Structure 1
Amino acid sequence: MTDPKTKQTTPEEADKNRIHIKNMVCPRCIMAVRQILDRLEIPYLSVELGEVWLKQPLKDQQKITLQRELESIGFELLEDQRQQLVEQIKRSIIELVHQENNELKVNLSDFLVEQCHHDYSFLSKLFPEVCGITIEKYFIHQKIERVKELLAYNELSLSEIALLLNYSSTAHLSAQFKSVTGMTPTQFKQQEGGMRKPLDQI
């Protein structure tokens, strides 16, 4: 399969062959989008989180049909560049936080600048304008969802989870967890993890 990033095309041509999709947050999302593209007989080069590289630009009717199919399973075609960038920020944070065994010993602002190729001051202003929440709060909420996931697995102690997610102490983790959820990690475990949110709803 040809790599769209190495295929010899002009930047303008390459951009026409790329579409952005909102709410793709996990490998199952990639599989679902591939199934739609195959069913609609839309040829593609690759499907990644939030992004599809097509072999050729979509025709108007194809775009309408694809939009309808995507919306039926909770996705959405994005054509606004501001929204595309916000989705890229979200995807980058989700991949950083939820990647298995990934210790969060990185500087968030430096990480996002590297991933999104924009100054952090621009990103940090854009994100709340579109989402109504700061990047930092979104990052914290994703970390708390990851804590919930790890608590539900019951394989790591709270101190091990704190170390994995780069909290300064278990007390810091517990305080942030209670601030976001209204309960302590212990209380959450007693409720058998019934308050986890889908990642695309955070």
Structure 2
Amino acid sequence: MKLYIKNMVCRRCKMAVLSELDKLGLRPLSVELGEVELPTPISEEQKQVLSKGLYALGFELIDDKKSKVIERIKNLIIELVHHKSNDLKTNLSHYLATDLGQDYSALSNLFSEVEGTTIEQYFILQKIEKVKELLMYNELSLSEIAWQLNYSSVAHLSNQFKKITGFTPTYFKNLKDRKRKQIEDL
């Protein structure tokens, strides 16, 4: 049995969900971003208790098909940008369509309809948050960041960064109070 969970965006989220499952004595086969696979179905009572526990941590159980697809798209993009940056050279539309087994234009239309933004814009926002993170670490040059996140040039990264944040990457890097957004708030 698969459960779909909204707002799982990182490894700590997986650990928190696993902890909630453990409280109910549930032993999942796998816990991935936005998805838990259990060996057997759970009772409605267990589902309600789990839902309340997850909600208290900022997660939500998802039941409807559209929400599951949207959450899967978001989780695939987050995983790609934040955990598999060397795979960013792949075509995003092909990557999503292949993983979800659906036509990209249908996925794109659904995402835009429900989220009020495009998949591409969501992808760009994730990349900009990753750029902010890497700038704050101050370990990579701007050209290394551009290469890692598959930007065609430093100028392209800088223009996109300024368009989204209002700051140049250099100015942002020098700010004392650099505000980053939580991934789930994008």
TM-score range, shorter chain: over 0.9
Sequence identity, in percent? 56
1:140 is the counterpart of 2:124: yes
TM-score, normalisation: structure 1: 0.88
State the Cα deviation string for residues 43-99 of structure 1 (Å, max 9, x = none). 322211111111221211111111100000100000011010011101111111112
Structure 2 residue ranges without an equivalent (≥5): none
Q: Does 1:46 align with 2:30?
A: yes
Match of 1:57 in 2: 41
Look at both structures and tell me which one has the larger radius of gyration over its CA atoms. 1
Distance 1:163 1:193, change over 3 A: farther
Q: Partners of 1:46 and 1:195 in 2: how far apart?
A: 34
Q: Which amino acid aligns with 1:165?
A: L
Q: In 1, Cα distance between the equivalents of 2:96 and 2:24?
A: 34
Question: RMSD value over aligned CA atoms?
Answer: 1.2
Name the CA shift for 1:103/1:41 in 2 (closer, same or farther; >3 Å).
closer
Cα distance, 1:46–1:159 mapped onto 2, change above 3 Å: same
Per the TM alignment, residue 30 of structure 1 is displaced from its structure 2 partner at its CA by 0.6
Deviation above 4 Å: which 4+ runs of structure 1? none
Question: 1:186 aligned to 2:152?
Answer: no
Choose the corresponding residue for 2:148, options 143, 164, 172. 164
Structural mapping, 1:1-202, within 5 Å? 17-99=1-83, 101-192=85-176, 194-202=178-186
The CA distance in 2 between the partners of 1:46 and 1:105, in whole Å, is: 28
Superposition TM-score, scaled by structure 2 size: 0.96
